[in-house]
Amino acid sequence: MSVAKGTLEIRNLSKSYVVDNNPLQILKNINITFPAGAFVSILGSSGCGKTTLLRIMLGLETSYEGDALIDGEKIEGPGSNRGIVFQDHRLLPWLTVGENVAFGLDKLNRKTKKLLVDEHLKLVGLSGFEGAYPAQLSGGMAQRVAIARALANKPEILLLDEPLGALDALTRMYMQKELERLWEFEKITMIMVTHDVDEAIYLSDKIIIMSSRPGIINKIINIPSSRPRDRASSEFMQIKAEILNEFHLGSEYPFAYAI
């Protein structure tokens, strides 16, 4: 029996920095399991350590207490089993779109490389753009290229660090649909850090709500409802109200109850 790959576990994880000779705790006793193939969002206001947590999962941050495990093995550093999409697209301006997508495919021969680049540009709807330079793309297009670059490596887990944070509201909603489509197509684990409540509800199977100083897990909300989700449904609104309450932003009479 084959076990689905792409399970990420965080066990009793704590992390602190030393600031002016005083230890500053960033993350405190974090326990999360990201099941293989699930879409999980980490939601929190700025300063809750969610980006640090993502850096740990990525392998860029290696000094902490506790464990970070992928399929039961300790994360020792960055690896091709994880892809990352940053908030800024971080495409290299001197490389074409095609060369940017091939950035992590150095070890492959030219033919395989081209095949993977074509496949993933098509997947994000940018076939025919491989010769363009990043400066010629819009924000949404650039972010699609960044997603294609991350997926071209065939990761088991895709980490998304506020991937749509720099886009305008409409492009953002459109890209949320696209992310959902890609997730359903690739069947890999996606872990997204965001501070957009709607985005988290729209995309996630599970939302992890964190609070700041030190970063702890406040609540984990499972969202069983079917996809694609209707942003205007009462169920959606109820979940939103529940989440906003966690941030003390809930209205006294959320309209979902007032109907």
* Interacting residue ranges for other proteins, rule: CB under 8 A: 58, 60, 78, 80, 84, 86, 88, 90, 92-96, 103-104, 133-135
Cβ neighbours of residue 41 closer than 8 Å, sequence gap 6 or more: 191, 192, 193, 194, 199, 200, 203, 204, 206, 207, 208
C-alpha to C-alpha distance for 89 and 84, rounded to whole angstroms: 10
Taking the complex as a whole, the smallest distance from the CB of residue 129 to other proteins amounts, in Å, to: 14
Q: Which is nearer to other proteins, 62 or 225 (by Cβ)?
A: 62
Q: Which is nearer to other proteins, 95 or 173 (by Cβ)?
A: 95
Taking the complex as a whole, the smallest distance from the CB of residue 46 to other proteins amounts, in Å, to: 18
- Paired with 33 in beta bridges are 9
Q: Which is nearer to other proteins, 130 or 246 (by Cβ)?
A: 130
Tokens 């705790």 -> residue: 25
Which tokens hold the place of 51? 């980006």
Q: Largest alpha-carbon pair distance within the chain?
A: 61
Taking the complex as a whole, the smallest distance from the CB of residue 133 to other proteins amounts, in Å, to: 4
Give me the sheet containing 65-70, strands edge to edge: 22-34, 8-19, 65-70, 73-74
DSSP characters for 56-93?
HHHTS----EEEEEETTEE--S--TTEEEE-SS----T
Q: Which is nearer to other proteins, 8 or 84 (by Cβ)?
A: 84
Q: Which is nearer to other proteins, 84 or 223 (by Cβ)?
A: 84
Taking the complex as a whole, the smallest distance from the CB of residue 82 to other proteins amounts, in Å, to: 8
Taking the complex as a whole, the smallest distance from the CB of residue 170 to other proteins amounts, in Å, to: 26
